[in-house]
Amino acid sequence: MRYTLLMDIESWKAQLRKGSAELAVLAVLAGGEKYGIEILDRISGVEGLGISEGSIYPLLNRLQREGRIEARWVENPEGGVPRKYYRLTANGEAAREAMVETWTAFRASLDRIVETRS
């Protein structure tokens, strides 16, 4: 029973991470232009978010296709591999604001339910 419960919790946590990944990326980019690994480091450095390199780039590509972010290649001045930098578009900023508003209301509602013991 305990093993099943742990598996269910892990599945639930994975769904929470998946559902919040887009907001996390948009929120990181609200602080300014960043390249992929910078975004990944910022998000993966927050306990519980645990997004992987294998999932960040498909998400960035989708957000770019949807017009929420823009990307540009920047040559490395030291002759290394160029980096792809991402930034929010106006559409992305509007989406981020709407998502934050929705998240804030959702979190407050869920907190009221979770904190009520009757």
Q: What does 44-58 look like in DSSP terms, one character per residue?
A: HTSTTT---HHHHHH
Q: What are residue 88's DSSP bridge partners?
A: 69
> Tokens 């232009």 belong to which residue?
33
Structure tokens at 32: 């300014």
**How does pLDDT run across 38-95, given as a tens digit for each residue?**
999 999 877 777 788 888 999 999 999 999 999 999 998 888 889 999 999 999 999 9
**How does pLDDT run across 32-44, given as a tens digit for each residue?**
999 999 999 999 8
For position 5, what pLDDT does the model report? 64
Report the pLDDT averaged over residues 6-33. Answer: 88
CB atoms within 10 A of CB 41: 11
